[in-house]
Structure 1
Amino acid sequence: MDEPEAGKERGRKAVPLRIDPAVYQALAKWAADDLRSVNAQIEFLLRRALDDAGRMPAKVRPMRGPGRPPGGADSPS
């Protein structure tokens, strides 16, 4: 696996994923129940698995919580 040079990689990494349609549907329902997108649910589960295995890098920024971000168009003025 290629390691990025220090300070060169920014933003998010796009990764194509082939997944069984039934697994995707279950994941999509779970994501909706948790008010997350499917992408955010996958990242949440991968982070949890890394943490459980003791493999989470120390420099990883935490994910924001589920639901809409604060200060959106629906928030009261």
Structure 2
Amino acid sequence: MTERKKVLLRLDPAVHDAIARWAGDELRSTNAQIEFLLRQALADAGRLPGNAGRMRKRGRPPKSDSDDEETH
């Protein structure tokens, strides 16, 4: 898997709170919601690269077999 880029983003606290609430409603993390909105804006503007990877599914990631072994 390709390493994901890390970005420091400064937001107005009210904007962050609104995105965080929206993310909770959509079962996404705040980070995933920001990425979703950026991808949507890029697609609407016709600027989303064709080689952009897919978004991860909403909600918690499924447990892997290695997670089960670590907890037992």
Unaligned runs of 5+ in 1: 1-9
- Give the length in aligned residue pairs: 64
Q: Which runs of 4+ in 1 moved over 6 A?
A: none
Residue 59, structure 1, aligned to residue 59, structure 2: no
Q: Give 1:47 shift.
A: 0.4
- Aligned twin of 2:16: 24
The structure with the greater share of residues assigned to helix is 2
Unaligned runs of 5+ in 2: none
- The correspondence for 2:3, drawn from 11, 35, 44, is 11
Once residues 17 and 71 of structure 1 are traced to their aligned partners in structure 2, the CA distance between those partners, rounded to angstroms, is 30
TM-score by length of 1: 0.75
The SS at the match of 2:38 is helix
Identity rate, percent: 61
TM-score by length of 2: 0.80
CA RMSD of aligned residues (A): 1.4
The SS at the match of 1:17 is coil
